[in-house]
Amino acid sequence: MAEKFRAMRGTHDILPEEARTWRWIEDTFAGVSGRYGYEEIRLPVFEATELFERGTGFATDVVQKEMYTFLDKKGRRLSLRPEATPSVIRAFLEHNLGRRAGVSKFFYMGPMFRYDRPGAGRYRQFHQAGVEIIGSPSPGADAEVIGVFWAFLRELGLTKLGMRINTLGCRSCRIKYSEILKDFLSDKLEALCADCKERYAKNPLRVLDCKVAACKVVIARAPDVSTILCAECVEHFDRVKACLQAAGLSFRVDPKLVRGLDYYTRTVFEVYHEAVGIENSLGGGGRYDHLVEEFGGPATPAVGFSSGLERVLLAVEAEGSARGASEAADIVFASLGEQAFIEAFTLASEARKRWRVWLEFDQRKLDRQLATAAKLGARLTAIIGDDELARGVVRIKDMASGDQIELRRQDVIAWLDNRLGGKSSE
């Protein structure tokens, strides 16, 4: 017996019914981003491994444990993208996109890949949507990307949302805080998990991101970054909060929020939904003012966010707000006889310029074809048999009322335009 293939663990098929909701979510994100002035950018799904080692951070769990890395036929190290921000910055520099204006604004959507333990809303091939502002140091830019994310989620009908924000300070503040945190943790290493012991040596801020219960007990007593912020970082964070408050966005300051990537400076944030849980945020982001420079470009401030769409889908389903374009046929063309099928094919081709049309291919009994039309939720069925063909007419049945009329062949499209309107129903 031939082997029965199944989707690989950590991947999933998005079947037609669910795909309609996905398309609605993606269209909503593109629409919101466009209203805020962001342009779409589409990126390769694999890049040079070094791009993520330098950008995402060599010491991060993403790079150390979760990337899908392989050698191509020329022995080059490549990785499936675990996130999109390094790719956006690479494209920004490679194509000199900063020449067009002082500030560049992009949005993206697509699959990402991480070798992680699969769970609710967590896959090894997953999907993210995000935005980036490149070229502005303004705290208003930080608030705007948060506003884009919030507007996207609210437009999906989500209400049970929460937001937490923090600041990591500038590079100098971050270095100083890392030293203070390392000193605090130095006599508590035995209470930390194995991963956090490694993080302590490589990047102690990452300890604050640990979800292990024992580590969280230690983290709760750790000093806050707010105690060592310079005046500029305090002012920047105060301005971000003021902008969010002016926009009517609620949030709480979480001094232990650091996010899981190394490039963040100053503002970081996460948005979560009560049905998905604070430990599995719908997404987040922050400011990364040194990544362009790290990739060989000029010093260029930047800020952005990414959202995990599988988790967004869980939240949408939990609130019952899912919807998508209707897949119901506006009209089904049923035929009886070979010549009648040619006529039905011709008419269906004309009708498809305006409406959603289903054409019956097989010469089945009429009641079977009408049953298909009912299953498809069609509003109308156009019937052409030998008798109709000989008389130059088309019989049209209203599937809701059962009423039937006959129209001359040349009058069908005009009648449909009057009945259905100029475009497919949604």
Whether 2 is covered by a domain: the verdict is: no
Give the pLDDT band of residue 424 (cuts 50, 70, 90). low
**Which helix (H) or strand (E) element contains residue 31?**
helix 16-35
Closest among 25, 61, 335, 49 to 196, alpha carbons compared: 61
**Which percentage of the chain shows pLDDT scores above 90?**
70
Instruction: With respect to residue 212, please indicate whether it lies within any of the assigned structural domains.
Output: no
Pair of tokens at residue 392: 């130059």
Q: How many domains does the chain have?
A: 2
Q: What is the pLDDT of residues 217-243, one digit of tens each?
A: 888 888 888 888 999 999 999 999 999
Same domain, 286 and 401: no
Q: Which amino acid is at 12?
A: H
Q: Are residues 409 and 291 in the same domain?
A: no
In angstroms, what CA-CA distances link 78 with 47, 51, 54, 67, 231? Answer: 6, 9, 14, 10, 42
Position 263 confidence tier, pLDDT thresholds 50, 70, 90: confident
Structure tokens at 89: 């910055």
Judgement on whether residues 160 and 298 belong to the same structural domain of the protein: yes
**What pLDDT sits at residue 289?**
94
The CATH number of the domain where 275 resides is what? 3.30.930.10
Q: Are residues 237 and 372 in the same domain?
A: no
Instruction: Report DSSP letters for 40-92, one per residue.
Output: E----SEEEHHHHIIIIITTSHIIIII--EEE-TT--EEEE-S-SHHHHHHHH
Of 27-31, 172-176, 217-221, 266-270, the one with minimum mean pLDDT is 217-221
Q: Are residues 68 and 124 in the same domain?
A: yes
Where in the sequence is the domain holding 136, given as residue range(s)? Answer: 16-170+230-319
Residue 423: pLDDT band with limits 50, 70, 90: low
Number of CB atoms found within 10 A of residue 306's CB: 21
Span 328-345, pLDDT tens digits: 889 999 999 999 999 999
User: Residue 404 in 3-state DSSP?
Assistant: strand
Helix (H) or strand (E) holding 153: helix 139-155
pLDDT by residue (tens digit) across 83-93? Answer: 999 999 999 99
What integer pLDDT is reported at residue 8 of this predicted model?
92
70 plus 147 within the same structural domain: yes
Output the pLDDT for position 170: 92
380 and 340 fall within a common domain: yes
Which phi-psi region, left, alpha or beta, contains residue 193 (left: φ > 0; alpha: ψ -120 to 50)? beta
Q: Is the pLDDT of residue 422 over 80?
A: no
- Average pLDDT over all residues of the chain: 91
pLDDT of residue 152: 97
What pLDDT, in 10s, does the model give residues 390-413?
A: 999 999 999 999 999 999 999 999
Tokens found for residue 262? 């190394």
Shared domain for 270 and 134, answered yes or no, is yes
Average pLDDT of 152-167? 95
